[in-house]
Amino acid sequence: MTGFSVSTATEEDYAALREAVDSDRILVLKDQQDITPEEFVELGRHFGDIVPYYEDTYHHPDHPEIFVSSNLSDDGKPLGVPRTGRFWHSDYMFAQEPLSVTIFAQKILPPGRRGTYFIDMVDVFRNLPEELKEEARAATASHSVRRFFKIRPEDVFRPLGEVIREVEAVSPPSVHNTVVTHPVTGEEILYVSEGFTDHLIGAERDGLLHDLLEASGQLDTTFTDPHIVLHTYEPGEIVIWDNRALVHCALHSADPTAPVMSHRITTVDGHPFDAAQSREELHNV
């Protein structure tokens, strides 16, 4: 979409953006290079309550609502965390209440290809054989950040066991339905990811998680599976996506030293994450 500007946007414009994200799952706003952090936060507020990342190593120095992925430093202090999200996931899958919407702004683009791979997990579920659908509906899934928790600068010289215990205490695994019902569209979403889903609970057989991930395209290391769509960023783009329906995987620059920076805001939209399971139930699993 061209022509959007936070400085002139009306409530109707924001409603149209939200509708586009619900119907198309992903929306690209062009020519946003001049957006200020304050305006970016303002944009985020129109998609629900902003959830700052739970680890403050990722925070923008002046705006904790903004998650920074970057390999740059300011006065020797790292700005955010480099090379984040290089694995299939949905943001905050490991949390009791995962996120509804992700808003992603590429601030400094490295040379070469920098993008995000997406898979529409509504499509994936719709195309599963009926038998696999039934097996998935019958199970719940346990998700954990542990494989992708990034060691923080202040963790150096700490015993690894202590760090692991802390990760498990601060971000214990979450349990969600393996098939989540979208609260706005009513669609069924296969809610599993290669990066965060640790195991299924109540599955009829071993290997179900593997079969579901395989069917989704998330195990294809060549990224040529027909479910996979790559969005490569152009300067000034902001991409907004439905974090319930899509899983994503970052494509970082081939050169890890090339300066790069992206800003991200995530929200909960006020609907239950999963229409089939109330928030109270989620907190009591």
Find the shortest distance in angstroms from Cβ 239 to ligand 7UC. 15
How many residues touch Fe ion (CB under 5 A)?
2
Q: How far is the CB of 83 from ligand 7UC (least distance, A)?
A: 8
Smallest distance, ligand 7UC to C-beta of residue 17, A:
21
What residues contact residue 32 under an 8 Å CB cut-off, 6+ apart? 4, 105, 236, 237, 238
Q: Which is nearer to Fe ion, 85 or 110 (CB)?
A: 85
Angle at 150 between CA 101 and CA 83, to 5 degrees: 65
d(CA 124, CA 49): 29
Nearer to ligand 7UC, 4 or 273 (CB): 273
Nearest C-alpha neighbor of 33 from the set 6, 9, 70: 6
* Cα 153 from Cα 94, distance rounded (Å): 23
**What's the closest the beta carbon of residue 180 comes to ligand 7UC, in angstroms?**
16
150 makes contact, choosing from ligand 7UC, Fe ion, none, with CB < 5 to 8 Å by partner type, with: ligand 7UC
Q: Which of residues 87-106 bind Fe ion (CB under 5 A)?
A: 91
C-beta of 85: minimal distance to ligand 7UC in Å? 4
Between CA 81 and CA 200 the distance in angstroms is: 30
Phi, psi values for residue 49, rounded to 5°: -85, 130
Residue 122: which of 191, 220, 201, 21 has the closest Cα?
Answer: 191
Cβ-based nearer residue to Fe ion, 213 or 239: 239
Say whether residue 195 binds Fe ion (CB under 5 A). Answer: no
Closer to ligand 7UC by Cβ: residue 110 or 195: 195
Our CB check for ligand 7UC shows the closer of 81 and 251 to be 81
Contact in structure between 239 and 26 (CB atoms under 8 Å):
yes
Among 24-32, 83-91, 211-219, 238-246, the segment contacting Fe ion (CB under 5 A): 83-91
List residues binding Fe ion (CB under 5 A): 85, 91
